[in-house]
Chain A
Amino acid sequence: MQSFSYARPASLDSAIATFAEGGEGTRLLAGGTTLYDLMKLDVERPERIVDINGLAELSTIDTSGDELVFGALARMSDVAADPRLADEFPALSEALWKAASQQLRNMASLGGNLLQQTRCAYFRHGEPFACNKRSPGSGCSAIEGLNRGHALFGGSDACIATYPGDFAVALIAFDAEVDVAGPDGERTIPVSDLHRQPGDNPEAETVLMPGEIIIRIRVPADAVGRGSTYHKIRDRESYAFAVVSAAAAVRLEAGVVADARLALGGVATVPWRAREAEHSLIGTALTAETARAVGEIAFADAVTREHNAFKVELGANVVRDALLIASGRA
């Protein structure tokens, strides 16, 4: 791998300044689980690395108040093990538990997890594959290629790479936000707006501005969290990305759905909120049949490819099962 400079700033201000000054070719190092991987694959070739692991203030976990607050450097395994999270927001806890492996969760940060890059093999494995995300303008090998893992939602003619993460999918179901700090100060972005659909320039993956660092994630401690699940169907029972996943949450009043949340993973270019499907649930009594119908609504607009069409039927059932698990906890 090529040589790079390394800085480990002691304060957030210094980190932002170093990150901003570095410009293109500068990468933040948090858990390193994606960055190192892509550096070894020669997809990432940073010239400067800013290691933010010295910023202890970004590692806090506070689930005691009206808002769940997670520092961007909180480790996935620590957050997953938080008792209140497991009790009151099982979808968030499960989304973490069901990701990666214990070793990776011990290293990986929440902020880095949100920004995890696609597993599209044509993106990861360099030459000879065309990839507009890795090499803008080169084309997309996936659209006519082996696209079993590729997106049914949010794709474009330039890119159908799937957003691979789990936690962000669960977060958007609960209207979570991220606070980011940059050269112009702090701002707040809904997690659902953090990622960009590929459109004509798939290399731009998020709305973060140069020099901006995610510093924390906040989730409203809403009562809908308790009746929730992150249902993840994958090709093996652990250590695998989602074939289809669903973050589902319901709040029942007198046996009728008063609030419903549904987000999909493994099937879209960004964490995907299924709002129309959610709305269809409100005021209904949740049964296996209605849950299945919601699943069909969620996948009604899917754009399928040669190898991923089965995910429409599978996805409808994953949504069904997720809603039933969630309502069992509500």
Chain B
Amino acid sequence: MPTGPYAEIPRVDAYEKVRGRAIYGTDNNPSGVAYGAFVTATIGRGRITAMDLSEAQSIDGVRLIVNHEHTSDLQPARFIMQHGFAFQSYSPVLTPNVAYRGQPVALVVADTLESAIEAASRIRVSYEEHPFAATLDSERAEPVPQAEAATAWPIDDIVVGDAETVYADAAVKVDATYTMPTQHQNPMELIGTVAAWDGDHLTVYEGTQNAGACKFGLAEQLGIPPENVTVISPYTGGGFGQKNTMQSQQVLTAFAARELGRPVKVVVPRRQTFHDSSFRPATRQRVRLAADSAGRFTAALYDVDAQTSMHDFFQSEHADTAARHYGYGAFRSFTRLVRTDTPTPGYMRAPFEHATAFAIESAVDELAYEHGMDPVQIRLLNDTDTDIVDGLPHSSRHVSECLRRGAELFGWDRRTPEPRSMVAQNGDLIGMGVAIGLYAGSGGPNRASVRATRDGIIEISLGVHEMGQGIRTAIANVVARHLNVAPESVTAILGDTRGVPQMLTAGSWGSASSIPAAEAVCEALREALDALGTNAPEGASPAEILALADHDELSVEAATFAPGQNRDALGEIDTGHVAPSGPVYPDFITYSYAAHFVEVRVEQTTRRIRVPRVVSVFDCGRVLSPRTARSQAIGGVVWGVGGALREAGEVDPRYGGVLNADMAEYLVPVNADIGSIEVGFIDEPDPMVNRSGVKGLGEVVLVGVAPAITNAIYHATGVRARHLPVRIEDLV
């Protein structure tokens, strides 16, 4: 079998997608389908005292109105981080409570969507209102030290050495606080469910990152055996962590379909996705960073306030990543979870690392200026081979190489260090900034099966979801190499509970957990083919061997695990739970790395910020599919531009909820905002983390873009932005 870098192949599902042949969850219209629409709460917190349904019931075509009076048979959802299946433990509509503005309080089902929406608008709800805390800064918000939070998997603060004392005595130091607002994923495909019963068997069509949790979670909430639930999600139209567990509408849609004896479809409108799904929590991060006279980081103190909900502790992992940015002499973190009356925040792409990198990489830039050192040099100087927290070696850490290669591609040597020292011909201030990013190299157990036929079909089933990242293409590329077949002959069954168990695809572990399984099952197939004893020539395809053996087809199975895991981990994924491992393994630690170089131009009069050029170099281990990897990297950089300059959920604390809850007002970058994005890969397989040498890419691509931009803004203008997004008013 050939080794070395993978060939670039086209995205295998590109034709299906551009021709509209890729069928997403709520594209399905089973015969007789009815449509649901939610009534949503208009108060910040409280309790429903009455609900007048009379007007709504008189609307033509209304078949069912579900509210808390009808749902007593349904079990509440359980939070994924308490070993459950849902993005939060709170289940709207199952109780008369209102935990946050915008939560569903009733579901109307009708023959048409129009009737359902109209009827929903005619339901009059009376409330008993309670005071609430809508934001991190609200007086009523409740900070809880994370180390004291009762959770299934507690996370302690990190203490390495005596950072307080070292910091106090240091010659050069920075003390700065960085804040970020809430952000919302807004995948193009809205959250939605189609539920259809056949007798006592439920089939659910859904765009999800976690078909397994949907299967087992629905069974639990409906009180039926898991084997009676099928979840089908061959494509997800972007997930970014918003779809990584059960959503509120799933059980209600299935319940309504069972009550009505006909399929029901519920698509959650854009405005409601801002109000009743997970989001990136607001954060406040204080960094105190000290260096010696040579520029070596001697101590870092890192204090994080991260938003969570009243009903769940969405645990912060900011400090885990912060501690691995550099080889600090001493490190101490202190994290508080700040409870607010909102949905439980969640794992929006690079959920902690994006914020962490903004704080740490900004502080490093501030320290570099304090010290009069080049921002690339100070980063190279503070790179490390050993993890300061656990004392373990890194399985691979090529962040210095990312920095060196990026600096060369970018032309960093043309940069003059003084702020405001570079001016374009048209008068715009030019700024050049750099930052690194890192993301945990996790993995997990995966089952795999493959069926090869004499006709040349290779059908592989893996526990992973295609959500636009290109995993089908990566799988086709890997299987094609291992079985010596053409990529287009490979069919992958993904996101489908009729195949192997489907684990959550998130945390940048999709490839690292599924590709080793794909390789293992290909190897098992090779062995089974060899056992047929055909003396086929070296490099013969499965179809050729099966023909020689006069066999129609052959199927084999395999299972793989992350380092340190054993077969027990399979029990978790077989029951719809998550079982990731890493980045701290028994003998080493694994992260993916990025180095981003950004050029900004700031118009002197209007202070408009433009980003004409980004160069990003990544160490994600082996690149499995160069084209989709590059595409994912570009997407991540664009996301970072949005994170730095555009995106913010606007919350009026008097009301709660989100004020700019649509795509016209919640700004993400448009084409005109994006200039050149040059992407490079180290493409060195990680020698330890798994047999495929693959670490994660989908999240690290975003990590560090925002501070590279704000560092560039500082270089251009002399203004240090410590709050995102940076807008015109911050520079006026």
Contacts and interface: CB of A to CB of B under 8 A. Distances in A.
Contacts of A239: 664, 670
B667 A240 contact: yes
B665 A318 contact: no
B728 A235 contact: yes
Nearest to B663: A239
B670 A128 contact: no
Interface in B576-605: 605
Nearest to B650: A146
A233 B606 contact: yes
Contacts of A2: 118, 121
A119 B669 contact: no
Contacts of B42: 127-128
Given A1-B118, A310-B729, A236 B606 contact: no
Interface string A280-315: 000000000000000000000000000000100110
A233 B650 CA distance: 20
Contacts of B728: 233, 235, 243, 310, 314
Interface in B710-732: 727-729, 732
Interface in B637-667: 646, 650, 652, 654-655, 659-661, 664-665, 667
Nearest to A100: B664
B607 A1 contact: no
A88 interface: no
Contacts of B606: 233, 314, 317-318, 321
Interface in B669-690: 669-673
A273 B443 CA distance: 62
Which among A3, A127, A236, A313 has the greatest number of chain B C-beta atoms within 10 A? A236
Secondary structure of the A contact surface, majority rule: loop
Contacts of A240: 667
A236 B669 contact: yes
B117 interface: yes
A146 B605 contact: no
A115 B359 CA distance: 45
B374 interface: no
B78 interface: no
B605 A236 contact: no
Given A127-B42, A314-B606, A314-B729, A236 B655 contact: no
B637 to A, nearest CB: 16
A237 B606 CA distance: 13
B128 to A, nearest CB: 15
A129 B667 contact: no
A145 B670 contact: no
Given A237-B672, A240-B667, A314-B732, A128 B101 contact: yes
Which among B42, B665, B667 has the greatest number of chain A C-beta atoms within 10 A? B665
A314 B667 contact: no
Interface in B452-467: none
Secondary structure of the B contact surface, majority rule: loop
Contacts of A238: 670-673
B665 A119 contact: yes
Nearest to B120: A42
Interface residues of A, number: 31
A143 to B, nearest CB: 12
B43 interface: yes
B727 A146 contact: no
A1 B117 CA distance: 6
A7 interface: no
Contact of B652 (A42, A141, A318, A321): A141
Contacts of B667: 235-236, 240
B114 interface: yes
A239 B173 CA distance: 43
A239 B666 CA distance: 12
Interface string A224-239: 0000000001011111
A2 B119 CA distance: 9
Contacts of A148: 729
A321 B426 CA distance: 13
Contact of B646 (A1, A235, A310, A313): A235
A218 interface: no
A125 interface: yes
A316 B619 CA distance: 47
Interface string A91-124: 0000000000000000000000000000101100
A146 B670 contact: no
Given A121-B660, A146-B650, A236 B673 contact: yes
B394 interface: no
Contacts of A310: 728-729, 732
Contacts of A236: 646, 667, 669-670, 672-673
A195 interface: no
B646 A317 contact: no
Contact of B608 (A1, A121, A128, A233): A233
Contact of B673 (A42, A128, A237, A243): A237
A320 interface: yes
Interface string B56-76: 000000000000000000000
A146 B659 contact: yes
A237 B729 contact: no
B286 interface: no
B632 to A, nearest CB: 23
Contacts of A3: 118
B609 to A, nearest CB: 10
A2 B121 CA distance: 9
Contacts of A144: 654
A313 B732 contact: yes
Contact of B43 (A128, A237, A313): A128
B318 interface: no
Interface string A129-146: 100000000000100111
Given A125-B659, A236-B673, A237-B673, 16 more contacts: A1-B121, A125-B661, A145-B652, A146-B650, A235-B646, A235-B667, A235-B727, A235-B728, A236-B670, A237-B672, A238-B671, A239-B664, A310-B728, A314-B728, A314-B729, A320-B605
Interface of A: 1-3, 42, 119, 121-122, 125, 127-129, 141, 144-146, 148, 233, 235-240, 243, 310, 313-314, 317-318, 320-321
11 contacts: A1-B114, A3-B118, A121-B665, A125-B661, A141-B654, A235-B667, A235-B727, A236-B667, A314-B606, A314-B607, A320-B605
The 8 closest A-B pairs by CB, nearest first: A237-B672, A310-B729, A238-B672, A317-B605, A128-B42, A127-B42, A121-B659, A310-B732
